[in-house]
């Protein structure tokens, strides 16, 4: 690929493929693992419980965690339309997913390293739209300030609510809140990557203003 063509790429193929896989894997892992664990309650229990030391499906859920972290890293590397701070946030969130997998939570009590990595992942998954936004009007609206700030504010409120629920042992629906947050964060990244790819194809074919990229 020529230097000129490389400079006009917003989304590269690995990121698009990763986004398609990510849209499925974010819920497929806990669905499969949860269905194989008799007595597991997805309303009351967290996703991390499926990868706990005591879990009979630990390896299955851990594999999906690693897959999710890897897809985040691929998205960060191969989506140059996003500004560098946002790509760094997505990449680090992927590494944090590796961390929370390496340090699983016990079914009784909690693991401080696991919570640190999990909180890091959720915070960065909430903040990356703000960090990745572009001010150049030639970029699509989905990564411009109005949308990026609004989405980040929504995720920030949602994440704080989840953290409050997660750390309150009296709450009996933490699993539902966690799944809603995880799916919304994953699908938003998928939406951004696909949106940018479609816009890229349209503009490369002469259907938009001057194309910009890194």
pLDDT by residue (tens digit) across 14-43?
Answer: 999 999 999 999 899 999 999 999 999 999
The pLDDT tens digits for 36-58 are: 999 999 999 999 999 998 999 99
Amino acid 106: pLDDT: 83
Work out the end-to-end distance of the chain between its first and last CA atoms, rounded to an integer number of angstroms.
14
Confidence grade of residue 179 (pLDDT, cut at 50, 70, 90)? very high
∠ CA 167-170-172, rounded to 5°: 95
Confidence grade of residue 202 (pLDDT, cut at 50, 70, 90)? confident
Confidence grade of residue 213 (pLDDT, cut at 50, 70, 90)? low
The structure tokens listed for 84 are 């560098």
Amino acid 108: pLDDT: 79
Amino acid 7: pLDDT: 43
Q: Which burial class, exposed, middle or buried, applies to 47 when counting CB atoms under 10 A from its CB (0-12, 13-18, 19+)? A: buried
| CA–CA gap between residue 70 and residue 145 (Å, rounded) | 27
pTM reported for the whole predicted model: 0.89
The pLDDT tens digits for 128-170 are: 999 999 999 989 999 999 999 999 999 999 988 998 998 888 8
Among 91-100, 109-118, 121-130, 199-208, the minimum mean pLDDT is found in 199-208
Query: Which letter does DSSP use for residue 133 in this model?
Result: -
* DSSP alpha helix (H) spans, the chain: 3-6, 13-36, 58-77, 84-102, 112-131, 145-166, 174-204
Rounded to 10 deg, the angle between the 112-131 and 145-166 helix axes is: 160
For residue 157, give every residue at least 6 positions away whose Cβ sits within 8 Å of its Cβ, in sequence order, or none.
none
* pLDDT for 189 beyond 90: yes
């Amino acid at each position: 690929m020529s230097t000129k063509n490389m400079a006009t790429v917003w989304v590269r193929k690995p990121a698009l493929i990763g986004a398609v896989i990510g849209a499925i894997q974010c819920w497929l892992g806990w669905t499969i693992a949860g269905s194989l664990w008799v007595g597991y309650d997805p309303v009351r229990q967290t996703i991390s419980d499926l990868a706990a030391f005591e879990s009979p499906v630990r390896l299955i859920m851990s594999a999906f965690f690693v897959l999710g972290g890897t897809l985040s890293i691929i998205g960060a590397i191969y989506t140059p339309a996003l500004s560098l701070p946002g790509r760094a946030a997505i990449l680090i969130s992927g590494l944090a997913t590796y961390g929370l997998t390496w340090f699983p939570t016990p079914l009784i009590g909690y693991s401080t390293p696991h919570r640190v990595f999990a909180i890091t992942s959720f915070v960065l998954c909430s903040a990356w739209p703000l960090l990745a936004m572009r001010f150049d009007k030639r970029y699509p609206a989905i990564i411009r300030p109005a949308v990026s700030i609004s989405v980040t504010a929504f995720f920030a409120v949602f994440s704080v609510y989840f953290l409050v629920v997660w750390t309150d042992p009296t709450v009996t629906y933490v699993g539902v809140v966690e799944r809603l947050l995880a799916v919304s964060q994953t699908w938003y990244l998928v939406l951004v990557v696909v949106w940018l790819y479609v816009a890229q194809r349209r503009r490369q074919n002469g259907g938009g203003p001057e194309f910009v990229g890194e």
